[in-house]
A = this chain, B = another copy of it.
Amino acid sequence: MKIALAQQNYHIGNFEDNTWKIIGAIQHAKLRGADLVVFSELSVCGYAPRDFLEFNDFINECYRALDIIKEHTEDIGVIVGCPQRNPEIAGKDLFNAAWFLYQKKVHGVAQKTLLPNYDVFDEYRYFEPGYEHNVIPFKGKKIALVICEDIWNLGDNPLYRIAPMDELIKQQPDLIINISASPFDYDHDVDRIEVIRANVLKYKLPMFYCNAVGSQTEIVFDGGSLVMDANGRIVKEMKYFEEDFATFDEADYGGKKSEVGSKTEDAASPTSGLRPLASDFDKEMRVSKINNPELIIDYLTAEKNIKEIHQALILGIRDYFRKMGFSKAILGSSGGIDSAVTLALACEALGKENVRAILMPSQYSTGHSVSDAEQLSKTLDNPYDIIPIKDVYDAFLTTLKPVFKDLPFNLAEENIQSRTRGNLLMAIANKFGYILLNTSNKSELATGYGTLYGDMAGGLSVLGDVYKMQVYALARYINRNGIVIPENIIYKAPSAELRPDQKDSDSLPEYHLLDKVLYQYIEKRQGPKEIVAKGIDEALVSRILKMVNTNEYKRNQFCPIIRVSCKAFGVGRRVPIVGKYLS
């Protein structure tokens, strides 16, 4: 049996585009002589449709798309992801289902059993867990059809009390097909291949793993669909961060383990088809690094991680604009490293001519701020303007004089400058149809080191899930083939330049200390005692955790952040604003 995997980039709720894209790949699969073509989880409506699923009308649209696709299955099997109405009264209204269409009919349906309900996932909000497990016979083979999380319990995942493959294996399937929408993060990507291999070796079956690709607001799906034979050998890994299509003959993927003895290669060899660079990051090494505070920064800035983050951010920017129907971005270019990296990424994602940089010096700006930012835009060759903020800032101070009287300069005046810049950027954006890219990094957002409606303004945050130390590493990565970001931007001490001689280090711990603590608290959910126990100064830990927890109200008003870590601010991290814990 020849099987095709179609790794595609869907647009949530855009039934017309998604349907055409699926039908296109069906036709292509037919031309390539495939018996079966497989698409990713909830491919018909895009993942994750979130509360759209609560609209009957939305489910009707899903079913209508399914009917259209069905018409193209006369002589090919097609597996697509689509919500299914629960025919029983008891239990939630929907299943997250994989539909096997063939000969213009529904040939079989498999329902997702393990529903992720952590981090960015809310599947239990919408779906009833599947409770029937049946292989689907097709052309003389029995297919174990499962969905994403269904393969993530091998009996040792405490989130679940059932392992769907343990049920299906009783019916002696010939192969496993898993349709997924598994998001990228640099902490997690290696786990995926490990889990697929563990399933393959446990059940002694080859697996077809079809993942989604593309960014949906904040969540980046990285593709990397793959076929693994029953011995744990990767037959083929498909592209990362791009659409892809491939067909597989039975000779490639083989059957159950016992039948493919002669094709066995060394499954344990770290070079046998693993994604490039990933082999350096096996689970053990990662665990040892993140548990040793001295190695956390090494881990965060490791080349594999930075390279993947770079790809994810470019896809995240590009898809946000394309799917929202925008083409042009604007951003404030301060001469600092965050805006420099954001600008370079945006130029790569959208084309340099579509990214306008605005330089907005004030009386507190140092001389190099404008010259560094100009140099950057000259190298990138993107349009830029210089708009001094002095007149607006002075008008604010004059207007507020009757209220402020002679009170000394403080945070209020600093914020006025930042908001004046935010306001100028939004005005130009509104006038010409630009979308404002935000340039805040994760270390700033964590500590509340930013001005609401000022430098925290924007429609999309590019670096909001990237710690400051990683921003430096990204800058060096961007300069890998020659200087794009001027070295002075990389090496000068970071400053908001909102008062004379200001430095970030006046208000924040040094970034290499800060990021180390933040990673343990945010990504690893270590409490203060646990972090201190690793040898980090108690006062420092307490100060940092308090900053994080008292600034939840700011992050609550922040724009979507392209997610690259296992715990980004935004939809996947839900913390009370009015809370008193560690604050």
A residues near B (Cβ < 8 Å) are 11-14, 17, 46, 48-52, 54-58, 60-61, 89-93, 117-118, 122, 124-125, 158-161, 215-217, 319-320, 323-324, 385, 387-389, 391-392, 394-396, 398-400, 402-404, 407, 410-412, 415-416, 419-420, 422-424, 426-428, 430-431, 452-453, 457, 459, 525-530, 553, 556-560, 571, 573-583
How far apart are A558's CB and chain B's nearest CB, in angstroms? 7
Which of A14, A57, A527: most chain B Cβ within 10 A? A57
Question: Does the CB pair B575–A529 fall under 8 Å?
Answer: no
- Top-5 shortest CB links A-B: A57-B527, A13-B581, A14-B580, A395-B395, A412-B430
Q: Are B431 and A404 in contact (CB under 8 A)?
A: yes
In-complex Cβ contact of A580 among B11, B320, B577 (8 A): B11
CB nearest to A415 among chain B residues: B430
> Which residues on B sit within 8 Å (CB–CB) of A17?
580
Question: Which residues of the other chain, B, contact A573 by a CB distance below 8 angstroms?
Answer: 51
Q: What chain B residues lie within 8 Å of A416 (beta carbons)?
A: 423, 427
A118 to B128, CA, bound (A): 13
Give the docked Cα–Cα distance between A407 and B420 (Å): 21
Q: How far is the CA of A356 from the CA of B525 in the complex (A)?
A: 40
Known A392-B399, A396-B427; 10 more pairs at CB < 8 Å: A52-B576, A90-B160, A90-B161, A320-B578, A387-B403, A403-B431, A415-B426, A416-B423, A423-B453, A553-B560
CB closest residue in chain B, given A549? B13
Bound complex: CA A158 to CA B91 (Å) = 5
Q: Are B124 and A56 in contact (CB under 8 A)?
A: no
Contact of A427 among B54, B415, B457 (CB under 8 A): B415
Partner of A52, one of B48, B60, B553, B575: B575
Q: Chain B: which residue is nearest A423 at the CB level?
A: B419
Give A13 to B576 CA distance when docked, in angstroms. Answer: 9
Q: Which residues of B contact A575 (CB under 8 A)?
A: 50-52
Which B residue sits closest to A156, measured CB to CB? B89
Interfacial chain B residues near A529, Cβ < 8 Å: 57
Q: Is the CB of B216 within 8 A of A55?
A: no
- A219 to chain B minimum Cβ distance, whole angstroms, is 10
- The answer to whether A395 and B391 touch (CB under 8 A), given A124-B124, A415-B426, is yes
Checking B395, B400, B419, B582 against A394 with a beta-carbon cut-off of 8 angstroms, the contacting residue is B395
Chain B min CB distance to A392 (Å): 5
Given contacts A125-B118, A158-B93, contact A12 B581 (CB under 8 A): yes
- A404–B6 CA distance with the chains assembled, in angstroms: 47
Minimum distance in angstroms from A93 CB to a CB of chain B: 7
Assuming the A-B contacts A161-B90, A404-B431, A427-B396, are A530 and B56 also in contact, with contact meaning beta carbons closer than 8 angstroms in the complex? yes
**A559→B560 contact, CB < 8 A:** no
Contact between B453 and A12, CB atoms less than 8 A apart: no
Q: Considering the complex, give the chain B residue whose CB is closest to the CB of A93.
A: B158
CB distance from A148 to the nearest CB of B (A): 17
What are the residues of chain B within 8 A of A14 when measuring CB–CB? 579-580
Give CA–CA (A573, B51) in the complex, Å.
Answer: 7
- Cβ-neighbour of A431 out of B158, B407, B558 (below 8 A): B407
**Chain B: minimal CB distance from A114 (Å):** 13
Contact between B419 and A56, CB atoms less than 8 A apart: no
How far does the Cβ of A94 sit from chain B's closest Cβ, in whole Å? 11
Within the assembled complex, what's the spacing in Å between the Cα atoms of A391 and B324?
36
Interchain CA distance A457-B530 in the complex, whole Å: 38
Contact residues in B for A426 (Cβ distance below 8 Å): 415, 419, 452-453
Complex interface: chain B residues within 8 A of A557 (CB): 557-559
Q: How far is the CA of A370 from the CA of B91 in the complex (A)?
A: 56
Q: Which residue of B lies closest to A575 (CB)?
A: B51
Chain B, residue nearest A324 (CB): B578
Shortest distance from the beta carbon of A353 to any chain B beta carbon, whole Å: 17
Contact in complex: B217, A578 (CB < 8 Å): yes
* A–B pairs, 27, beta carbons within 8 Å: A11-B580, A13-B579, A46-B579, A49-B579, A52-B581, A55-B525, A57-B530, A58-B527, A90-B158, A117-B122, A117-B124, A117-B125, A118-B125, A124-B124, A216-B576, A319-B578, A324-B553, A392-B392, A395-B395, A404-B431, A412-B431, A419-B419, A423-B423, A426-B452, A453-B457, A459-B553, A553-B560
Contacts of A453 in B (CB 8 A): 419, 422-423, 426, 453, 457
- The residues of B that contact A412 with a CB separation of less than 8 Å are 427-428, 430-431
Task: Give Cα A385–Cα B400 distance, bound, in whole angstroms.
Answer: 11
Tell me if B400 and A427 are in contact (CB < 8 A): yes
Q: Chain B contacts of A400 at CB under 8 A?
A: 387, 424, 427-428, 431
A534 vs chain B, min Cβ distance (A): 14
Q: Which residue of B lies closest to A215 (CB)?
A: B578
Query: Are B527 and A56 touching (Cβ within 8 A)?
Result: yes
Q: Are A403 and B385 in contact (CB under 8 A)?
A: yes
Q: A153 to nearest B CB, angstroms?
A: 10
Q: Which residues of B contact A530 (CB under 8 A)?
A: 56-57
Q: How far is the CA of A428 from the CA of B122 in the complex (A)?
A: 40
CA distance in complex: A527, B61 (Å): 11
CA of A422 to CA of B423, assembled, Å: 10
Q: What residues on B are CB-neighbors of A407 within 8 Å? A: 431
In the docked arrangement, what's the CA distance between A215 and B576, Å?
Answer: 12
